[in-house]
Structure 1
Amino acid sequence: MAPLSSLLFFLLTVHSVNALKCYVCPSATTNQECNKNTQDCQAPLDTCMTTVGTLGQFTGISKMCSNSKICTSAAAVASVDNNGNGVQVTCCNSYLCNYSGAASVTLHRWLLVLPLLLITLLFRQQA
């Protein structure tokens, strides 16, 4: 009886771990086209990475599972000029979080600007 109760105890204490799932596509011209396939990311891939390249009217989108350090580094060097040409890289790490690359780009910009605005307001109040 002891082995059976030990097995039951083990099964009750082990929780299933849901791996990160991302939308993946090697190359697409629209977000809808890119969101047709998903993939469970395997360790050490802990981030969904979306890359959007724009040149004039042409857009290329790539989505994949990535390592957070690699994605963050790619996002730091990506840039877009005043005409909207260039590359944007976004990183996220929740279930199917890379559904809309454009929305997350806008969100990341606000997350960068908001602390700067708060710091500016604090300095103005102290002066």
Structure 2
Amino acid sequence: MNGVPTMMKILLCILLLSASLSPALSLTCYVCSSTATNEECNMDNQTCPEPLDTCMTIVDVLGNSKSIVKQCASRATCLGAAAAGVVDEDGNGSTINCCSSSNFCNHSGAAAARVHAALWLLPLLGLLLLSH
């Protein structure tokens, strides 16, 4: 790396460090089994053990009956379940949301975007490249 400028070496080290630390961080999710309201569901939480890296929320609706389940899951499992979720024209069926953006990201059960820690370095890298 003799021909690489010092600033680029520093950025590369930061990028590699953030990428290596990211998987080691544990995600904490709200967890519940078959509650009727989101408020009831958010009374307990769990730090997800490896390899579970995603908070999964399942909302089943049948007529006036609603059941909410929140749990830790692997990203692949959650995305597979979300793809299989179906809601009919009457609003009956299952909705599955997956998130891993931050601890307690499944507070509302809404889908959340995941932003990897390394992406925060892109603006800095862009400025560095523009300055040369």
Give the structure-2-normalised TM-score. 0.65
| Aligned-residue CA RMSD (Å) | 2.2
Q: Which runs of 5+ in 1 are unaligned?
A: 1-14, 109-127
2:49 counterpart residue number: 42
1:96 counterpart residue number: 104
Instruction: State the one-letter code of the partner of 2:69.
Output: S
Give, in whole Å, the separation in 2 of the partners of 1:98 and 1:84. 21
Instruction: State the one-letter code of the partner of 2:82.
Output: A
Q: Which runs of 5+ in 2 are unaligned?
A: 1-20, 114-132
| 1:83-126 residue CA offsets vs partner (Å, 9 max, x unmatched) | 1000000000021000011xx15x78xxxxxxxxxxxxxxxxxx
1:27 counterpart residue number: 34
1:53 aligns with 2:75: no
Give the structure-1-normalised TM-score. 0.67
Residue aligned with 1:32, SS:
helix
For residues 1-127 of structure 1, what are the structure 2 equivalents within 5 Å?
Answer: 18-93=25-100, 94-101=102-109, 104=110
Give, in whole Å, the separation in 1 of the partners of 2:53 and 2:106. 13
Instruction: State the one-letter code of the partner of 2:58.
Output: T
- TM-aligned CA deviation for residue 26 of structure 1: 1.3
- TM-aligned CA deviation for residue 18 of structure 1: 3.8
Aligned residue pairs total 92
- TM-aligned CA deviation for residue 27 of structure 1: 1.4
| 1:10-36 residue CA offsets vs partner (Å, 9 max, x unmatched) | xxxxx8x54100000011000000000
Percentage of identical aligned residues? 47
Instruction: State the one-letter code of the partner of 1:21.
Output: T
Give, in whole Å, the separation in 1 of the partners of 2:92 and 2:54. 25
